[in-house]
């Protein structure tokens, strides 16, 4: 590390280590050589995954928000995982075509956010008597539907509560591509009746959805880079969030993925919190395709929230 910034990342190092191990394995194939076991990165028997941490928050260090001495740190940590080839594990996969849409959510990020959303829904269900009541989940800026379809994928495999999943986007092309993706997923899904998907065209400043009707919102709004300008995001974010607050049920949750943390924390949330429309519950910083300043915000509409005019 130089000035608190790594010059390499794990995805770049792993192939180098693999090549080195494979080279040793190749040598061991020579007759009479005992340099080591044969290493096959594809046809392995056991894969060992090791995560090491010195207790320093790497995202804060990479952002250089404070000197390393100010970052403190927790105990050093090592996590060890084993994967056996006989278990036939394979990466989770979404059938989501991105088309020519500029703004494209990453499938892996969508899976992680959906798992987090499912955790929150399960905890919330434990406090309700009607735990099996059908939910309404929406992405108000769905694009090609990556987050919506990831959410359904997770609910199907975790046997989650039945839910109607709704995707809304202002762009006609995005809505069309989302619906095509939903139909393609339906062809391989055995649970269309339990987790139906719907697509609507509409603006996040005037959603075609009733007030107090949505249990969960998952949204990755524009960052002001590939899709819309930073000025547009800065001006629109407060209006979008107010509309999300309107459609959420009292006690409903919204998970917001954005790199515009100053806009969200300083301009969007304070007015909504003062009016009792939304409450910030959690903020987690993570690496989103190289954007180490990205954050996942969890906000909730208070049970006694005031009515939001449309």
Tens-digit pLDDT profile for residues 97-149:
777 665 567 888 999 999 999 999 988 876 564 556 789 999 999 989 999 99
**Structure-token pair, residue 129:** 């008597």
Q: What is the pLDDT of residues 241-298, one digit of tens each?
A: 999 999 999 999 999 999 999 999 999 999 999 999 999 999 998 888 888 889 999 9
Q: Which region holds residue 101: left if phi is over 0, alpha if psi is between -120 and 50, else beta?
A: beta
- 255 close to 219: Cβ distance less than 8 angstroms: yes
pTM: 0.74
Cβ-based neighbours of 90, under 8 Å, separated by 6 or more: none
| pLDDT confidence of residue 129 | 46
Q: What is the pLDDT of residues 202-223, one digit of tens each?
A: 999 999 999 999 999 999 998 8
């Amino acid at each position: 590390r130089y000035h608190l910034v790594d010059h390499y990342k794990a995805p770049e190092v792993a192939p180098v280590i693999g090549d080195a191990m494979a080279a040793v394995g190749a040598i061991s194939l020579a007759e009479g050589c005992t340099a080591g076991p044969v290493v096959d990165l594809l046809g392995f028997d056991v894969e060992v995954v090791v995560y090491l941490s010195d207790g320093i928050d790497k995202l804060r260090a990479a952002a250089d928000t404070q000197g390393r001495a100010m970052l403190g740190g927790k105990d050093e940590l090592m996590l060890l995982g084993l994967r056996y080839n006989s278990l036939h594990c394979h990466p989770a996969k979404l059938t989501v075509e991105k088309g020519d849409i500029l703004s494209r959510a990453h499938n892996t990020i969508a899976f992680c956010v959906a798992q987090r959303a499912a955790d929150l829904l399960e905890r919330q269900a434990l406090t309700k008597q009607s735990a099996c009541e059908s939910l309404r989940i929406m992405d108000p800026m769905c694009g090609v539907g990556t987050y919506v379809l990831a959410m359904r994928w997770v609910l199907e495999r975790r046997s989650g509560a039945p839910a109607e999943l709704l995707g809304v986007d202002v762009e006609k092309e995005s809505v069309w591509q989302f619906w095509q993706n939903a139909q393609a997923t339906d062809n391989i899904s055995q649970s269309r009746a339990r987790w139906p998907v719907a697509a609507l065209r509409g603006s996040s400043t005037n959603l075609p959805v009733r007030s107090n009707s949505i249990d969960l919102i998952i949204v990755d709004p524009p960052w002001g880079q590939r899709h819309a300008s930073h000025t547009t995001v800065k001006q629109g974010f407060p209006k979008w969030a107010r509309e999300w607050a309107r459609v959420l049920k009292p006690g409903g949750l919204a998970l917001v993925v954005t790199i515009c943390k100053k806009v969200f924390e300083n301009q969007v949330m304070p007015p909504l919190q003062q009016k009792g429309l939304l409450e910030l519950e959690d903020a987690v910083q993570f690496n989103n395709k190289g954007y180490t300043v990205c954050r996942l915000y969890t906000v909730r509409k208070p049970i006694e929230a005031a009515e939001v005019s449309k």
